[in-house]
Structure 1
Amino acid sequence: MSEAPGETPAPAEPTRAGIVAVLGAPNAGKSTLVNRLAGAKVSIVSAKPQTTRFRIRAVLTEGTSQVVLTDTPGIFAPRRRLDRAMVAAAWGGAQDADLALLVVDGRAGITDPLRAILNRLKKQKPTLWLVLNKTDLFDTKRLLPLTAELNEALSFDETFMVSAESGDGVDRLRARLGAAMPLGPWLFPEDELSDLTERMLAAEIVREQILRQTHEEVPHHATVETESWQERKDGSVRIDCTIYVARASQKAILIGDKGSRIREIGQRARAELTKLMERPVHLFLNVKDRPGWDEERGRLRALGLEDLD
């Protein structure tokens, strides 16, 4: 519709943009919440703790606001060089953010790891919101006492009760995040969903299947790197990934009887990548044992982590 003669067009609504760090103990549901808020898969998810290893930014658009969600590794007591770098990445995400969400597994309540996080946050004092997650998995009568206990331990500006898995309560959180961002230009292009490159995405999707299909001995002793990426004329892509494990016994477990497990990992990862990338994917996996990879500075840099020593 054309403007009437002499009519002054309404001024454009100002834009908002900011960074939100998503913090919590391992297995609180941070990655599931980030994916739900973003409306797309940007972080891998498994039932095992310490799934996320580095900061992943998901870009959420809410009206004229752009919210950059930083999914951080779960905060735990570190032992390896890799662990120390992961925990440092999580706390670094909180320091760089305009706002921090503390995601708490409402079913688990206040655990020792969560108490340690609360004590650290008392010193950092970021703008902090509480997100009680997994509310669909326990008696809601526990919500108010747990909320009161958490707010007594640390002052939260706002409290949200959600189920990241089902989406219950997430729309309200998304709307409030958009309104809370500071005025300013957007930080990422309008159509960008994440700062995760396609090569990193491929490696993470393969690692997700390792986490889901192997048991305690393997998951946190494995890392995945995309070694080769070849675009094909028919629009498909060939991806070659190498899985590094700490011991030869772990390599045997990953390969499985006559290669059965590594085939299953590859098939499921390929199907997921084909869906996410919306084109045919040819995925080839190789497994190598590399003792001490989680203490190597080069491996940490490949994961996007800073070496603290």
Structure 2
Amino acid sequence: MTKSGFVSVIGRPNVGKSTLLNRILGEKISIISDKPQTTRDKIQLIYTDEDTQMIFLDTPGMQNPRNKLGEHMLSTSRGSVGEADVVLYLVDTSEFIGSREKDIIEFLQGIEVPIILVINKIDTIDRGKILELMDMYKDVENISEIVPISATGGEGVDELIEIIQKHLPEGPFFYPDDYITDKSERFIVGEIIREKALVNLKEEVPHGVSVLVESMKEKEDGSFDITATIYSEKDSHKGIIIGKQGTMIKKIRQEATKDIERFLDAKITLELWVKIEKNWRERESKVKYFGYK
């Protein structure tokens, strides 16, 4: 009998949720950067082996919202828990339980499905500290198991998969076994471009950046012509995104082209534009316009 189910992945920003899921899938689908709010929407990532299918719900980092986009992100993260058969609660190797962590722990007290607490980034600490961290969390109520891992290096990830399998219900697969995400190619292409902007731009700029793929046309030879627009909130940011003599936008385009070609397994021509949409994160209509619904 096969097993299948939904696994909600929650935690503070930058604890390694998307890195872990890319590791499990063996393919980069969720974008990664060291900037908060890298993941803005729920993405279903699908892991299938011979007798198990796990539909992971990669969600935005849980933090107090400061605008309409932030409200959407928090609602998305909390809502995903209600859909789940298992919850993965990711923390890092911080040596104390901070206020954001306490808020998440309080939120999880009413959850009735198994909760697996995953301590990530153990490759950054001495081995002896791992048991201390596990001991710090052992008295948290409603936690079924504690699993230390390194999403970057892969340590403990196979054990985590086995533990998730143990908690999933029996049932048929939800998706064909060759599916890895519910998102369209167009969505992933836009996310790759946004990732390159996040990685390369100054600290104050990335939070106000969004990307719309305006067109994506496949040619007879299998290559793609792609046009996308990078939107920012402030006039002063437009020049930073373009860069002196176009150096920054060129760098973003080159790095995005490389990853998009790997993802599509095809050659592409990528054209990027930069436009201003002032204070779009504060306006619910614009948050929805950019696809955060």
How many equivalent pairs are there?
293
5 Å matches for 1:52-201?
52-107=39-94, 109-201=96-188
Maintained 8 Å contact 1:95/1:126: no
5 Å matches for 1:32-51?
32-51=19-38
Structure 1 residue matching 2:101: 3-state secondary structure: helix
Counterpart for residue 232 of structure 1: 219
Q: Mean alpha-carbon deviation: is it higher for 109-118 or for 159-168?
A: 109-118
Counterpart for residue 6 of structure 1: none
Distance 1:270 1:75 in 2: 31
Q: Mean alpha-carbon deviation: is it higher for 150-159 or for 15-24?
A: 150-159
Counterpart for residue 273 of structure 1: 260
Report the alpha carbon displacement of residue 197 of structure 1 after superposing the two structures with TM.
0.8
1:262 corresponds, among 237, 249, 257, to: 249
Counterpart for residue 13 of structure 2: 26
Counterpart for residue 279 of structure 2: 292
Report the alpha carbon displacement of residue 303 of structure 1 after superposing the two structures with TM.
4.7
Deviations 1:157-212 (A, max 9, x none): 11111000000110111122233221111111111000121111111000100110
Report the alpha carbon displacement of residue 281 of structure 1 after superposing the two structures with TM.
1.1
Q: Does 1:242 align with 2:245?
A: no
Maintained 8 Å contact 1:62/1:178: no
Report the alpha carbon displacement of residue 109 of structure 1 after superposing the two structures with TM.
4.4
Aligned CA distance change for structure 1 residues 292 and 260 (closer, same or farther; 3 Å): same
Distance 2:85 2:220 in 1: 44
Structure 1 or 2, whichever has the larger Rg, is 1
Maintained 8 Å contact 1:57/1:194: yes
Over the residues paired in the alignment, what is the CA RMSD in angstroms?
A: 1.4
Deviations 1:236-286 (A, max 9, x none): 001111111000111110000011000000000000000111100111110
Distance 2:257 2:175 in 1: 28
Report the alpha carbon displacement of residue 96 of structure 1 after superposing the two structures with TM.
0.7
Counterpart for residue 198 of structure 2: 211
Distance 2:207 2:112 in 1: 31
Q: What's the TM-score, normalizing by structure 2?
A: 0.96
Maintained 8 Å contact 2:115/2:145: yes
Maintained 8 Å contact 1:107/1:137: no
Maintained 8 Å contact 2:108/2:142: no
- Identity, % of aligned pairs? 37
Counterpart for residue 251 of structure 1: 238
Residue identity matched to 1:113: R
Structure 2 residue matching 1:228: 3-state secondary structure: strand
Unaligned runs of 5+ in 2: none
Structure 2 residue matching 1:34: 3-state secondary structure: helix
Structure 2 residue matching 1:123: 3-state secondary structure: coil
Maintained 8 Å contact 2:86/2:164: no
Aligned CA distance change for structure 1 residues 97 and 220 (closer, same or farther; 3 Å): same
Deviations 1:125-154 (A, max 9, x none): 442001000000012322222222223133
Counterpart for residue 15 of structure 1: 2
Q: Which 4+ residue blocks in structure 1 deviate beyond 4 angstroms?
A: none
Aligned CA distance change for structure 1 residues 115 and 183 (closer, same or farther; 3 Å): same
Aligned CA distance change for structure 1 residues 283 and 298 (closer, same or farther; 3 Å): farther
Unaligned runs of 5+ in 1: 1-13
Residue identity matched to 2:256: A
Structure 2 residue matching 1:43: 3-state secondary structure: coil
Aligned CA distance change for structure 1 residues 194 and 165 (closer, same or farther; 3 Å): same
Deviations 1:101-140 (A, max 9, x none): 0000114642221111111111334420010000000123
Maintained 8 Å contact 2:95/2:133: no
Q: What's the TM-score, normalizing by structure 1?
A: 0.91
Counterpart for residue 282 of structure 1: 269
Maintained 8 Å contact 1:63/1:178: no
Residue identity matched to 1:159: I
